[in-house]
Amino acid sequence: MAVLHFEYRMEIGYEQCVHRCCFTIKCIPRENARQHLLGAELSVLPEVGYCMGEDSFGNRQIYGCETEPHDRFVFQATGDVEILRTDYEEAEDPMTGVYRIPHGKCIPGPGLLAYYQSCGLPENRDPHETCVAWMHRLHQDFAYVPGVTQVQTGAEEAWGMGKGVCQDYAHIYVTLLRMAGIPARYVCGMIVGEGASHAWVEALCGGRWVAFDPTNDCLVSDCHIKLGHGRDAADCAINRGLMWNGGAQRQKIAVQVEKRDKGE
Amino acid sequence: MQQLELLKHTDKVNELLARYGVKFGIYKNNVFKEQLFPFDSIPRIIEHDEFSFLEKGLKQRVMALNIFLRDIYSRKQIVKDGIVPEDFIYASSGYMAECEGVYPPRGIYSHISGIDLVKGKDGGWYILEDNLRVPSGASYPMIARDLCRRSSPDTFHSHRLEENRNYADLLRRTMDYVNPGGHTVILTPGRYNAAYFEHSYLAEKTGAHLVTGSELVVEKDMLYYISSNGTKERVGAVYRRISDEYLDPMNFNPESLIGIPHIYEVFRKGNVALLNAPGNGVADDKGIYYFVPKMIRYYLGEEPILSNAPTYLPFYEEDMKYVLAHFDSLVLKDVAEAGGYGVVFGSTMTKQQKQDFINLLQKEPRRFIAQEVIDFQDLDIVDNGEIVPRKADLRAFVLTAEEPMVWKSGLTRFSRNPDSFIVNSSQGGGFKDTWVLYQ
């Protein structure tokens, strides 16, 4: 058990003035049996009224529309999360079936189909064991190299390149688990000691959603704060925006998560 | 036959339809082409008793489909109880995860349903397909009736003919029933849409504003209409004539220029009604069609009044065997296609085509359904001055407010080609008025 303090800051600078911009931000940790939000503060610049709600995956979102011309957009969220368990049990998600089906960025092509078959992992094993076995395999067979893949890169394409970042690990892992018949969710979150957001996977093992971190080849520990989940990265993207004008943009994201002593 | 008097006026009515801009636009090879939707003045006539029977069956069907949609996007009891396999829900291109847990105003999903039927040579009616997304076509028989009445008033005095002008009232009632407060608008993608005539006609007849996406704006979980002089007024109901994926670039296709950013959040919070609700495609999928009679029994505890065309799902092993053994007598439909595309007849394929198709079928059994070819009744049309028989179907309109209401008319479409069974307007056919008689 631990209390994690987080700071998420996103700043977008535009080459030209933006006349109007709509945004949806999913950056407030959702609550479940594993994590409990102790408090959070949000700010949006330029200042604008925004709304809060939940999307259909249960992710928290804030959204609104800037109608004043601006050349800089800053979003910041800070808060504390109490981590109660390292993996978690949950009542069955009514959408479980959704997470069995190939979708979006998690659709296998010839490359992943061949890989899946070549590994020859025994089928009908305990799902938890299958997940662990695939996690080790993937960690071995895929290299962590930033800058090769992009936000839009899907599982099959990333697999073809043989290297990528946490999003690619998670997309490929989700795709493989679904091929093995195990419902799997893509998770977006933050971890201690990393300057950007992180991604991992939850798989349904015997009525429990268990969280695996294929990038680090480990089970999710008390260093992970979950923000949201979905079928792939697009469902729980931290920022979705639509702007009128603006030209080229530079995006700076700073994430900090650190452990706090309890009772501090 | 006094209605034959109408025949004399066919050319005049078609001329007027052209002048009013009653056209049908289609995309072919990426080129947008508008074409006239030829009107044939011999009406389809349905006797009172026969229509009462259809009416009962249609209400029952639409009621079950609405319950199904409510169930699928919440508890999914019908899947848990094993009536509909999960595969048919989640792999359907019409299923939208974004609709999970969202409850539309008054729980209605399909406010305007277009149910396509044919009458078999055996005299029985069969449902061909359900259209629960953005079914179009009601305006054609409305305006055709109006023009015919003007050119031949006597014809309409001497028949026991149910009025069809009330479609606008039914639609207005349907929109008002779910409107939580504010204006009612009809949202059109613009004049390059195949059904633009209909959008403007229905707006005029119902008194709703006809708007494009750029005239609507979302603020603080409310939807507003911006009038030409800059005032902002709340909108409570949107009869949207654009498809789900273009509705909201912040929730669906980000490339959409005709949608309204965040309109879906307003809907999620219950502050606007969208007619029809997003996500309905999961219930009018050709694969789900097979399950509609089962739904009626499951949700309503009644026997279905109207029959489906006999349908097989190659997904089930037993059905696959049947399909392979009777391939030549069946029609095969790709569940992902609409508008008469992706429909093939086993009997017209070459040996090679058949083999290729069977290979595809065995690789992707979930993608296809197979149906017996129904030998449906021909209706007479006038072609170059001669009366000739053509295949025809009927699109019945069911509008759901407190209860489902069936419009006592409908769009009768016929195929232009004498050998064709496909009557979709996007395939170049024509239409007739549908007369329902009272007792």
- The verdict on A77 and A104 lying in the same domain is no
Q: How crowded is residue A260: how many other Cβ atoms within 10 Å of its Cβ?
A: 14
A95 and B220 in contact by Cβ < 8 A? no
pLDDT band at residue B233, thresholds of 50, 70 and 90? very high
Q: Is B262 exposed, middle or buried (0-12, 13-18, 19+ CB in 10 A)?
A: buried
The better pLDDT of the pair B350, A123 is held by B350
**pLDDT given at position B421:** 63
Interface of B with A in 99-118 (CB under 8 A): 99-102
CATH 1.10.3210.10 given to domain B310-372: no
Cα of A98 to nearest chain B Cα, Å: 6
Q: Which CATH number do you get for residue A112?
A: 3.10.620.30
**pLDDT given at position B427:** 61
- The verdict on A38 and A99 lying in the same domain is no
**pLDDT given at position B314:** 94
CA distances from B290 to A187, B56, B77, B311 (A): 36, 20, 18, 6
B268 and A63 in contact by Cβ < 8 A? no
Average pLDDT over residues A106-120: 94
Could you list the residue range(s) of the whole structural domain that residue A252 is in? 2-84+239-260
pLDDT band at residue B357, thresholds of 50, 70 and 90? very high
**pLDDT given at position B408:** 97
Average pLDDT over residues A78-83: 95
pLDDT band at residue B202, thresholds of 50, 70 and 90? very high
Q: Which residue of B has its CA nearest to A62?
A: B265
Judged against a pLDDT cut of 70, whether residue B192 lies above it is answered with yes
Q: Does B385 touch chain A (CB under 8 A)?
A: no
Closest CA to B98 of A53, A184, A239, A169: A53
Average pLDDT over residues B369-396: 90
Read off the pLDDT of residues B52-95 as tens digits, 9 standing for 90 and up.
999 999 999 999 999 999 999 999 999 999 999 998 898 888 99
Alpha helices in B328-407 (DSSP H): 351-363
Which residue from B97, B261, B268 is facing A95, i.e. has the nearest CB?
Answer: B97
Q: How far apart are CA B106 and CA B100, in angstroms?
A: 16
**pLDDT given at position B230:** 87
Helices B196-206 and B139-151 cross at an angle (nearest 10°) of 70
Q: Does B222 touch chain A (CB under 8 A)?
A: no
**pLDDT given at position A264:** 47
B219 and A235 in contact by Cβ < 8 A? no
Q: Does B218 touch chain A (CB under 8 A)?
A: yes
Q: How far apart are CA B292 and CA B20, in angstroms?
A: 39
Q: Is B388 exposed, middle or buried (0-12, 13-18, 19+ CB in 10 A)?
A: exposed
Judged against a pLDDT cut of 50, whether residue B39 lies above it is answered with yes
Judged against a pLDDT cut of 60, whether residue B2 lies above it is answered with no
Task: Write the single-letter amino acid at A241.
Answer: G
**pLDDT given at position B27:** 57
- The verdict on A12 and A124 lying in the same domain is no
| From A57-66, B1-10, B287-296, the region with the lowest mean pLDDT | B1-10
Q: Are A148 and A169 in contact (CB under 8 A)?
A: no
Contacts of A120 (CB under 8 A, 6+ apart): none
A65 and B219 in contact by Cβ < 8 A? yes
- The verdict on A7 and A114 lying in the same domain is no
Q: How many CB pairs under 8 A join A and B?
A: 58
| Tally of residues, chain A | 264
**pLDDT given at position B144:** 94
Read off the pLDDT of residues B267-310 as tens digits, 9 standing for 90 and up.
999 999 999 999 999 999 888 999 999 999 999 999 999 999 99
In what helix (H) or strand (E) does residue B320 lie, and over which residues does it extend? helix B317-325
- The verdict on A176 and A143 lying in the same domain is yes
pLDDT band at residue B12, thresholds of 50, 70 and 90? confident
Q: Which residue of A has its CA nearest to B261?
A: A22
pTM above 0.95, yes or no: no
ipTM of model over 0.85: yes
**pLDDT given at position A122:** 75
Direct distance between the N- and C-terminal alpha carbons of chain B, in angstroms, rounded to an integer = 19
**pLDDT given at position B92:** 85
Q: Which residue of B has its CA nearest to A20?
A: B261
Mutate to test the interface with A, among B88, B221, B250 (most CBs of A within 10 A): B250
Judged against a pLDDT cut of 50, whether residue A87 lies above it is answered with yes
Q: Whole-number mean pLDDT of chain A?
A: 92
- The verdict on A97 and A194 lying in the same domain is yes
- The verdict on A17 and A113 lying in the same domain is no
- Give A92-147 as a DSSP string: PPTTGGGGGS-BTTB---HHHHHHHHHH-PPSSS-HHHHHHHHHHHHHHHSEE-TT
- The verdict on A53 and A181 lying in the same domain is no
- State percent of chain A over pLDDT 70: 96
Closest CA to A4 of A217, A237, A226: A226
Q: Which CATH number do you get for residue A59?
A: 2.60.40.2250
Q: How far apart are CA B71 and CA B57, in angstroms?
A: 21
Cα of B386 to nearest chain A Cα, Å: 54
Q: What are the phi and psi torsion angles at A63 (to 5°)?
A: -150, 155
Q: Whole-number mean pLDDT of chain B?
A: 91
Judged against a pLDDT cut of 90, whether residue A195 lies above it is answered with no
- The verdict on A112 and A212 lying in the same domain is yes
pLDDT band at residue A181, thresholds of 50, 70 and 90? very high
**pLDDT given at position B93:** 85
Q: Is B111 exposed, middle or buried (0-12, 13-18, 19+ CB in 10 A)?
A: buried
Average pLDDT over residues A108-121: 93
Q: Which residue of B has its CA nearest to A244?
A: B257
Average pLDDT over residues A114-123: 87
Q: Are B97 and B278 in contact (CB under 8 A)?
A: no
- The verdict on A228 and A256 lying in the same domain is no
Average pLDDT over residues B390-418: 94
A55 and B97 in contact by Cβ < 8 A? no
Judged against a pLDDT cut of 80, whether residue B31 lies above it is answered with no
Give me the residue spans of the domains in chain B: 2-300+376-436, 310-372
Closest CA to B306 of B49, B79, B62: B62
Q: Is B207 exposed, middle or buried (0-12, 13-18, 19+ CB in 10 A)?
A: exposed
Read off the pLDDT of residues B122-143 as tens digits, 9 standing for 90 and up.
899 999 999 999 999 999 999 9
pLDDT band at residue A3, thresholds of 50, 70 and 90? very high
Say how many domains are in chain A: 2
Judged against a pLDDT cut of 80, whether residue B245 lies above it is answered with yes
**pLDDT given at position B426:** 57
- The verdict on A107 and A228 lying in the same domain is yes
pLDDT band at residue B420, thresholds of 50, 70 and 90? low
Average pLDDT over residues B392-416: 95
Structure-token pair, residue A52 = 């809060």
Read off the pLDDT of residues B305-334 as tens digits, 9 standing for 90 and up.
999 999 999 999 999 999 999 999 999 988
Read off the pLDDT of residues A204-250 as tens digits, 9 standing for 90 and up.
998 889 999 999 999 998 899 999 999 999 999 999 999 998 889 99
**pLDDT given at position B383:** 86
Cα of B201 to nearest chain A Cα, Å: 33
Average pLDDT over residues A16-30: 94
- The verdict on A106 and A218 lying in the same domain is yes
Q: How far apart are CA B418 and CA B389, in angstroms?
A: 8
